[in-house]
Amino acid sequence: MSEGQVYDLIIIGGGPAGLTAGIYATRAKLDTLLFDRLNPGGLVASTDWVENYPGFPEGITGAELMKKMEEQAIKFGLKIMPFKEVHSAHFKGRIKIIRVDNEEYKAKAVILASGTEPKKLNIPGEEKFKGKGVSYCATCDGPFFKDKDIVMIGGGSSGIQEGLYLTRFVKSISVIEFMPHLNAEKILQERAKKQPKFKFFLNHMVTSINGENQIESVTIKSRQTNQEKTIPAQGVFVYVGWNPKTEFLKGQVDLDRWGYVIAGGDTKTSVPGVFAAGDVRQKTLRQITTATADGAVSAFMAEKYIEEQKSSTD
């Protein structure tokens, strides 16, 4: 970074929302910098198959879709800095300050697109076997469980979708769902119920992941009868929801009680010049389509804000 350089716009997060914002912002000729704590792509990049994103009737892998978005953004001039996690921010002044790796970056406007990360179970055995049989990414780790019995915790769309992917590797999948019914999209439920490798334990909760040097079993408890049973398993995949990546925003913008950024459909936060897009924003539906829509809106609103600020100082 050049000493004293002020970008027009800084985007925090390189998922669908951040990359779409980057495309719109750079096409509007805004000098734009994007930070991502990993490689751009977000959670979508680790998704095996996407079939509800418009324009791909046969479906597309999450990694390929996000690569196309990244290439498109770079084509228009977006500057991307991967493996750069934002540790703190100062949004109160006219110029916004972002701190990354002991360096300060400045911008006239900021788009928050930092997304979410998987929730943890916080039960015995989870931390012990994290990365050694406990996984939060079926696409990343599925091949390691060839011909194994595994447990999938969570019956929402993410869990069932990734469970369907795992059927190409594993011997069996026991789905443990806290509610008395699955919450996945109906089409995914239908596919899973037709798949002989699936077993379903509805209205159950997981109480422990067991084993000495590797996972040997999982203990579950019925929420109706409180009766416990042990399921033999060599792997556990956790899909029980998400936490927003907003630790660095506390005291800077208004957050709801779950930590999501409070912003309406116009993506405006409680601080002028700061906008929120994608899964990090308080919203009803978190999908790739809604993230890209937020990205487009946030970039437009940022451009408008910058022009208004320029006019007020002329």
Task: Give the residue from 102, 94, 132, 100 showing the smallest Cα distance to 114.
Answer: 100
Residue 140 falls in the annotated catalytic set: yes
Joined tokens for residue 8: 């027009």
* Active-site hit among 141, 149, 279, 294: 141
Question: Hey, how many other C-beta atoms are within 10 angstroms of the C-beta on 112?
Answer: 33
CA–CA gap between residue 43 and residue 291 (Å, rounded): 12
Contact present, 192 and 184 (Cβ < 8 Å)? yes
Chain length of the chain: 314
Task: Give the residue from 272, 238, 240, 290 showing the smallest Cα distance to 113.
Answer: 290
Residue 141 falls in the annotated catalytic set: yes
For the chain, helix (H) and strand (E) counts, in that order, are 6, 17
Joined tokens for residue 170: 């594993």
148 Cβ partners below 8 Å, 6+ apart?
169, 170, 171, 233, 234, 235
* Active-site hit among 101, 140, 256, 266: 140
Beta strands in 5-73 (DSSP E): 6-12, 32-35
Q: List active site positions.
A: 137, 140-141
